């Protein structure tokens, strides 16, 4: 299936209501408003196709960029490819749910995520922390250095309240994910979340949102979810 055909298919799948929801979350034109579930039959036909994914991502069209993540072949993507993708990710649904997710399927994930966390750029930092969330929720605990995860938790504790909003949100999610999915540091994550306390995310037009990782960890523990791992990163 070629680029033009895929763009036409995506346009056909677009819905005005979905488009409005995406725009309210930070997307901007061009976009069609395709629900992610509606992309599945198209993804099944194409499977993985990195050259096509690159063409779609380069359009700047939100739905095409999202679909690029679905059909990308992460194992042949280089660090330079991911740098190009993160530079094109203009809001969090791209940085955290397309780029970070795709990166989480590679062998270079932690190295790239570390650089992004240290970058000082809001969406890069957000993608770096989010990538760790996707990794921790999918890979065996033995694939992570406990001391490294511990120092990342300390970094969250010491810097979260001064971080930009999207980064704050991803850091909060990191504490939560360590608390649920990385058993060796469950207790440390709970303790960190309690010390951090409520995290305020200021909405542009909406009212501020308060995140409380300690409560969310407890809810999942009560549901018997300690040690939860996803089978796949990308749906």
Q: pLDDT tens digits for 21-67?
A: 999 999 999 999 999 999 999 999 999 999 999 999 999 999 999 99
Between helix 3-13 and helix 50-57 the angle, nearest 10°, is 60
Q: Are both 43 and 128 inside the same structural domain?
A: no
Q: Are both 67 and 108 inside the same structural domain?
A: no
Q: Are both 24 and 133 inside the same structural domain?
A: no
Place of tokens 């207790």: 187
**Domain region containing 115:** 94-235
Q: How many domains does the chain divide into?
A: 2
Q: Are both 144 and 226 inside the same structural domain?
A: yes
Residue 210: CB partners within 8 Å, gap ≥ 6?
198, 199, 200, 201
pTM over 0.85: yes
Q: How many CA atoms lie within 13 A of 79 on its CB side?
A: 10
Question: What's the Cα-to-Cα distance from 125 to each of 18, 156, 163, 197, 211, rounded to whole Å?
Answer: 27, 12, 9, 21, 18
Residue 83 lies in a domain: no
CA angle 97/7/30 to nearest 5° reads: 65
Q: Are both 150 and 194 inside the same structural domain?
A: yes
| Six token digits for residue 170 | 């991803």
| Per-residue model confidence as pLDDT tens digits over 158-178 | 999 999 999 999 999 999 999
Residue 168 lies in a domain: yes
Q: Are both 113 and 38 inside the same structural domain?
A: no
Q: pLDDT tens string for the chain (235 positions)?
A: 999 999 999 999 999 999 999 999 999 999 999 999 999 999 999 999 999 999 999 999 999 999 999 999 999 999 999 999 999 999 999 999 999 999 999 999 999 999 999 999 999 999 999 999 999 999 999 999 999 999 999 999 999 999 999 999 999 999 999 999 999 999 999 999 999 999 999 876 668 999 999 999 999 999 999 999 998 887 5
* DSSP SS3 for 211: strand
Place of tokens 């930092």: 125
Q: Are both 109 and 223 inside the same structural domain?
A: yes
Burial class (CB in 10 A: 0-12, 13-18, 19+), 115: middle
């Amino acid at each position: 299936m070629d680029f033009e055909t895929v763009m036409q298919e995506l346009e056909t799948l677009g819905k005005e209501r979905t488009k409005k929801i995406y725009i309210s979350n930070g997307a901007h034109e061009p976009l069609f408003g395709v629900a992610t579930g509606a992309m599945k039959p198209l993804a099944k036909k194409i499977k993985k196709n990195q050259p096509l994914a690159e063409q779609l991502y380069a359009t700047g069209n939100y739905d095409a960029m999202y679909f690029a993540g679905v059909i990308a072949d992460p194992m042949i993507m280089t660090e330079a490819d991911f740098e190009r993708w993160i530079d094109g990710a203009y809001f969090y649904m791209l940085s955290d749910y397309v780029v970070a997710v795709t990166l989480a399927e590679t062998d270079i994930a932690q190295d790239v995520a570390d650089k992004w966390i240290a970058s000082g750029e809001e969406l890069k930092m957000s993608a770096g922390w989010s990538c760790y969330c996707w990794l921790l929720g999918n890979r065996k605990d033995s694939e992570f250095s406990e001391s490294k995860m511990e120092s990342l938790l300390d970094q969250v504790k010491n810097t979260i309240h001064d971080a930009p909003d999207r980064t704050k949100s991803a850091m909060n999610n990191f504490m939560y994910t360590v608390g649920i999915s990385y058993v060796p540091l469950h207790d440390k994550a709970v303790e960190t979340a309690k010390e951090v306390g409520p995290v305020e995310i200021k909405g542009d037009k909406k009212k501020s949102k308060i995140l409380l990782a300690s409560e969310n960890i407890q809810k999942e523990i009560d549901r018997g979810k300690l040690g939860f791992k996803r089978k796949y990163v990308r749906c």
